[in-house]
Structure 1
Amino acid sequence: MPKISEKGHSMPESPIRKLVPFAEEAVRKGRKIYQLNIGQPDIKTPQVALDAVKNNNIEVLAYSHSAGFEDYRKKLAEYYRQKDIPVDSNNIIITTGGSEALLFAMGTIADAGDEIIIPEPFYANYNGFATASGVKIVPVESTIETNFALPPIQEFEKLITPKTKAILICNPGNPTGYLYTKEEIQQLSAMVLKHDIFLVADEVYREFTYDGAEHHSIMSLPELKEHAIMIDSVSKRYSMCGARIGCLVSSNKEVMQTAMKFAQARLSPPTFEQIASEAALQTPQSYFDEVIEEYTSRRNILVNGLEAIEGVRVATPKGAFYCIAELPVENADDFARWLLEEFQHNNETVMVAPAAGFYSTPNTGLNQVRIAYVLKKEDLERAVEILKFALKEYNK
């Protein structure tokens, strides 16, 4: 029998999606599942985006430019300039989701065996993208004790080698919800300039910040003009996860020229989704104001509810819509599976994402889970109640 590649064998499973078969079986048993495991917002997609597709009269569904439609890139650049990100359309390549933008970035800046330093826990698919690109992730640990703040710069310095090509951050963070301060971004800036490496920032949750906190983009620092690469997406901002439209943004001309070759190799991003994404730029600020108010309320319900459960510790997020909770269990993976296979409370249960998959350091985060607060408030309250009963029963 022909053999599967070593790369295929080493490709990690998604900690977010690997429990889906157990959830499907629970549903077949008639159980209701509160899905806290995946960042699929229930917020309505802006109607202007849906109407742009519904009312379109395209007769030939043709390729777009490999970088994406120019009109969309121009309007997107205008949006960024309003966010203190001084770019034009030539600094943007439209991609099939932020995922493809990350793959393009890794392919552009790193060869097989090169290293990228990432604060952990981090978005689990970074492991997959790195494996697909032949890149080695070098983790630097952030901790729940500090609310997952940026680790000390000295810890990064210890890990930098001749093979280090970049620092990668997610800001605000998935899975932690941590929002980097201006001072932390400046510290990272000074370090990448010192070592002449790239700073890559996944900023797809830019709009989601709480308690008056402000998002600080790496693209707003003029000194990083040649070193900054930003990853973005419409998925969360406009509740358009299924559109699969993202972008890679950089003022470094060589980066853009190289990334363009990857974009040409996959031909072009999808047409109707670009049309919807361009229209979504017309979404009024009131939409985001309402969304932030809703997510702030949901966050408070979740964090307060978790903190009231004996033995649970939770980091309070300042952005995105996730948090990491430390549970009084030895193995959150086993607990998450047990929730779906064996537990029910009034024929209901919850689904969480074991956090070990958000680390690349072995045997780390084993008693942690990531929870996405993307359910309506009454469902979150019920989910926390179920979790409380579940922990009590599991630990008997």
Structure 2
Amino acid sequence: MPRLSNKGLQMPESPIRKLVPFAEAAKKLGRTVYHLNIGQPDIKTPEIALNAVKNSTIDVLAYSRSEGSEVYRSKIANYYKSHNLHVDADDIIVTTGGSEALLFAMGSITDPGDEVIIPEPFYANYNGFATASGVKVVPVVSKFEDNFALPPIEEFEKLITPKTKAILICNPGNPTGYLYTEDEMAKLSAIVKEHDLFLISDEVYREFAYDGLQHHSVLKDDTLKDNAIVIDSVSKRYSMCGARIGCIVSRNKNLIQTALKFAQARLSPPTLAQIASEAALETPQSYFDDVKSEYTDRRNTLVSELEKIEGVKVAKPKGAFYCIAQLPVDNAEDFARWILEDFHHNNETIMVAPAAGFYSSKGMGKNEVRIAYVLKEADLVRAAEILKVALEEYPN
């Protein structure tokens, strides 16, 4: 039998999706499953984006430019300028989701064996993107007790080697919901400039900052012009996960020219989805105000309900729409599978994402789960009730 690649064999499973077969089996038994495992918003996609596709008059669904249509990139640049972030259309490459933007970034700045430092827990697919690129993830632990704040900058200093190419952050964070402060961003800026590294900032949840707090983009710092790379996406901002449109943004011209070669190799991003995404940029501010208010209420409800459950601890998120909860179990993955396979409460159960898959360090997060509060408040209350009963009945 032909041998598979070591790279393929080492590709990690998604902690978000690996339990899907068990959820599907539960549904076939007639059970309702509350999906807290995946960041798929139930917020409606803006009508203006859907109508742009419905009303399109194109006769041939042709390729677009490899970097994305010039009109769309110009409008993205205007979006950033409206947030006081000054980039031009030529600083942007449209990608097939934020995932491809991350792959382009990894491919453009690293060689096999190079290292990227990432505060953990982090978005699980960073492990996959690194493996696909032959890159070593070097984790620096952010602590549950500190609400997953940026680790002391001295901890980053200890990890920098001649093979270090970048520091990668998610701001606001997936899976933690942590929002980096202006002071923390300044510290990261200083260290990447001192050591001549890239600072990759995954900012797909930029609009979701709560409690009057502000998001601080790496693009704000003009002194980071050559170091900063932003990863962005329409998926969460406009509830358009299925569009698969993102972008890589940098004022480093050499970086963009290099990433463009990767974009040319995959030909072009999806044409219809670009039409929808371009139209979505006309979404009024009232949409985002309503969405932020809705997620704030959902966060408050979920955290309040989780804190009522004996033995459960939860870190309060400041952005995005996820939280990390510690459960009174030894193995959260076993528990998450058990509640799908062997448990139900009035024919209902829940699906969560075991948090160990969001760490690179072995043994970390084994009693933690990531919960996405993308359901209506009443459903979140019910899901917390099911979790409480499940913990009481869990045999392990």
TM-score under structure 1 length normalisation: 1.00
- 1:361 is aligned to 361
Match of 2:350 in 1: 350
Which residue of structure 2 lines up, in the alignment, with residue 43 of structure 1?
Answer: 43
* Aligned pairs, number: 396
Asked if structure 2 preserves the Cα contact closer than 8 Å seen for 1:23 and 1:340, the reply is yes
Q: Does residue 3 of structure 2 align to residue 7 of structure 1?
A: no
The aligned counterpart of 2:65 is 65
- Counterpart of 2:192 in structure 1 is 192
Aligned twin of 2:163: 163
2:252 matched residue in structure 1: 252
Query: Structure 2 matches for 1:1-396, cutoff 5 A?
Result: 1-395=1-395
List per-residue Cα deviations over 1:192-220 (Å, max 9, x = no partner). 00000000000000000100000000011
- The alignment partner of 1:254 has SS state of helix
Q: Taking structure 2 as the reference length, what is the TM-score of the superposition?
A: 1.00
| Cα deviations by residue, 1:60-87 (Å, 9 ceiling, x for unpaired) | 1111010000000001000001112110
Distance 1:86 1:288 in 2: 21
Tell me, in whole angstroms, the C-alpha distance in 1 between the residues paired with 2:200 and 2:219.
Answer: 10
The structural deviation recorded for 1:395 is 5.0
Deviation digits for residues 282-302 of structure 1 (CA, Å, limit 9, x no counterpart): 000000000011000000010
Identity of aligned residues (%): 73
CA deviation after TM superposition for structure 1 residue 94, in Å: 0.1
DSSP 3-state at the match of 1:21: helix
- Alpha-carbon separation, structure 2, partners of 1:125 and 1:84: 30
Contact 1:329 1:395 in 2 (8 A): no
Residue 3 (structure 1) shift:
1.1
Q: Assess if the C-alpha contact under 8 Å between 1:15 and 1:124 holds in 2.
A: yes
On the 8 A contact 1:63/1:268 being kept in 2, the answer is yes
Return the alpha-carbon distance in structure 1 between the equivalents of residues 142 and 311 of structure 2: 21
Given that residues 176 and 322 in structure 1 are in contact (C-alpha distance below 8 angstroms), is that contact kept between their aligned partners in structure 2?
A: yes
Q: Give the whole-Å Cα distance in 1 for the aligned partners of 2:31 and 2:386.
A: 13
Work out the CA distance in 2 between the residues paired with 1:71 and 1:264. 18
Partners of 1:313 and 1:23 lie apart in 2 by 25
- Matches of 1:143 and 1:315, distance apart in 2: 10
Secondary structure of the corresponding residue to residue 130 of structure 2: helix
The 1-side partners of 2:84 and 2:120 are apart by: 28
Tell me, what secondary structure is at the counterpart of 1:119? Answer: strand
Any idea what SS the aligned residue of 1:173 has?
coil
Give the 3-state SS of the residue equivalent to 1:129 in structure 2: helix
User: 1:128 Cα deviation (Å)?
Assistant: 0.4
Distance 1:227 1:296 in 2: 33
Whichever residue aligns with residue 102 of structure 2, its letter is: L
Alpha-carbon distance in 1 for matches of 2:347, 2:270: 41
Q: Secondary structure at the match of 1:187?
A: helix
Moved over 4 A (4+): none
Query: What's the C-alpha RMSD, in Å, of the aligned pairs?
Result: 0.6
8 Å CA contact 1:49–1:276 kept in 2: the answer is yes
Question: Alpha-carbon deviations, 1:101-124, whole Å to 9, x = none?
Answer: 000000000000000000000000
Tell me, in whole angstroms, the C-alpha distance in 2 between the residues paired with 1:49 and 1:77. Answer: 18
CA contact (8 A) 1:225 1:251 kept: yes
